[in-house]
Amino acid sequence: MKNNHRSEPRIEAAQDSARANILGHPDVPVSCQIVDFSRSGMCITLDYEVAPGRIVKVDWDNHFLIGRVQRVTPVEYGSRVALELLYCSKWTDDVLSILADEQPKPV
């Protein structure tokens, strides 16, 4: 069941080969799966406990996202983590146009 806390559209992602680094002293690298993303963030699942407010860097392909943990929800195999976007190397005009096309049109 999807828990939708955002009012903006999300793009589903089935990216299983991502890495998350929970930034700190020391950084903690863990495997993660990217569930979806939107204009303001990303949702990942991982098998590691991370607290709200922590900063996480997610690497996939040749891109990365840096986000602040907003919510953590327990799931069957770990945690579902909602990240607020701080920076993303992949957020280009093409991605933003996809997101804009999914915005509800006024009637």
CA-based angle 45:51:54, to the nearest 5?
Answer: 95
Structural domain spans, the chain: 11-97
pLDDT, tens only, 50-81: 999 999 999 988 889 999 999 999 998 899 99
pLDDT, position 7: 65
Residue environment code for 49-61, b if the CB has 16+ CB neighbours within 10 A, otherwise e: ebeeebbbbbbbe
What homologous superfamily does CATH list for 11-97?
Answer: predicted glycosyltransferase like domains (2.40.10.220)
Respond yes or no on whether the N-terminal peptide bond of residue 26 is cis (omega within 30° of 0).
yes
pLDDT, tens only, 7-57: 677 777 766 779 999 999 899 999 999 999 888 899 999 999 999 999 999
| DSSP element (H, E) containing 37 | strand 28-38
What whole-number distance in Å separates Cα of residue 99 and Cα of residue 89?
16
pLDDT, position 62: 83
pLDDT, position 13: 74
pLDDT, position 68: 97
